[in-house]
Amino acid sequence: MKFFVDTADVDAIAELNELGMVDGVTTNPSLIMKSGRDILEVTKEIAGMVDGPVSAEVIATDADAMIAEGRKLAKIADNIAVKVPLTWDGLKACKVLSGEGNMVNVTLCFSANQALLAAKAGGTFISPFIGRLDDINLDGMELIADIRQIYDNYGYETQILAASIRTVNHAFQSAQIGADVMTAPPAVIKAMAKHVLTDKGLEAFLKDAETAGIKIV
């Protein structure tokens, strides 16, 4: 499973990247706003830090404007994936941009029908939002499973990018179901290393080492 980190914080990206935990990066206007930086500037810096895809989102809502913005974003670096919303205009933009050889991440997916359309429009990635479905008492993991089945049924190459991941259970279940990629905030990725029994065991080992006077260096 590929790990994308969902942030525009270059320091957080650098820390995870050094450990080999970053296969790509996803950003959106909200994350860019939190960074307090210009979208083109910070996107260029991020794209230079990682080898994998860096999703940069358009802000237009009509197809022609999305295409124009997407072309501009794609020029930032070769590893830019243009992010478009799953609307009819977004699908039009996806078809054109992917047809020009650009990676396209179709975002804000909340149904298997939407995911099917994105695959037919040539999307590189489909981003179903798990957490936001959970917020309205729907099971986001059922959506991941439905998309996986449909894509496997027909051999679609669009990669399932599990998004809006908020917990380590979201990460585990996405991998278990067969999502190609997950994108999560740095805190969630780091939390995957935590377990109460690991902490308890380490505490016991350190206590015994101190009692025995064990030293290595």
- Catalytic pick among 44, 72, 75, 83: 83
CA distances from 112 to 116, 118, 143, 175 (A): 6, 10, 6, 18
CB atoms within 10 A of CB 69: 19
Helix 88-99 with 63-74: angle, nearest 10 deg? 40
Known catalytic membership, residue 72: no
Residue type, 162: A
Sign for the CA dihedral angle at 84, 87, 88, 91 comes to positive
Cα dihedral 89, 93, 98, 103, rounded to 10, equals: -90
Report the C-alpha dihedral over residues 84, 87, 91, 97, rounded to 10 degrees.
-20
Cα 86 to Cα 115: distance, rounded to the nearest angstrom: 9
**At 146, is the secondary structure helix, strand, or coil?**
helix
d(CA 166, CA 182): 11
Question: What residues are annotated to the active site?
Answer: 83
